[in-house]
């Protein structure tokens, strides 16, 4: 029943969940080609506040990030990657 308090609450919860995990971005990465490199980037990247998922595509030299929307989270992932010894840059045109 649309308009009832429970329906409105459920709709707001769905919008909140989608909003928290709905933004995506790509970072270009160089030098991270082995399985342990990929694991380290994904594991540490997921610990960045506001980031819900990090996937490394070593073949295409990309890091795919799902985040809450704060661009600072993407910069923090790039910093983490650099501290691991690799080069990473946010592909700003991919941010959405």
In a domain, 12, yes or no: no
The count of structural domains within the chain is 1
Neighbours of 88 (CB within 10 A): 24
Is 13's pLDDT higher than 60? no
In a domain, 39, yes or no: yes
In a domain, 82, yes or no: yes
Q: What is the pLDDT of residue 16?
A: 52
Provide the CATH number for the domain around residue 32.
Answer: 3.30.70.100
State which residues form the domain around 62. 23-94
CA atoms of 33 and 58, how far apart (whole Å) = 5
HSE-CB at 26 with a 13 A cutoff on CA atoms is 9
43-91 pLDDT, tens digit per residue, is 999 999 999 999 999 999 999 999 999 999 999 999 999 999 999 999 9
Does the pTM of the predicted model rise above 0.95? no
């Amino acid at each position: 029943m649309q308009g009832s308090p429970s329906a409105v609450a459920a709709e707001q919860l769905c919008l909140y969940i989608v909003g928290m995990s709905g933004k995506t971005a790509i970072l270009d990465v160089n030098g991270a080609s082995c399985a342990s490199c990929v694991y380290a980037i994904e594991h540490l990247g997921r610990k960045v506040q506001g980031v819900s998922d990090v996937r490394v595509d070593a073949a295409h030299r990309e890091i795919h990030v799902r985040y809450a929307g704060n661009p600072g989270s993407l910069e923090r992932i790039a910093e983490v990657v650099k501290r691991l010894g690799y080069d990473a840059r946010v592909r700003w045109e991919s941010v959405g």
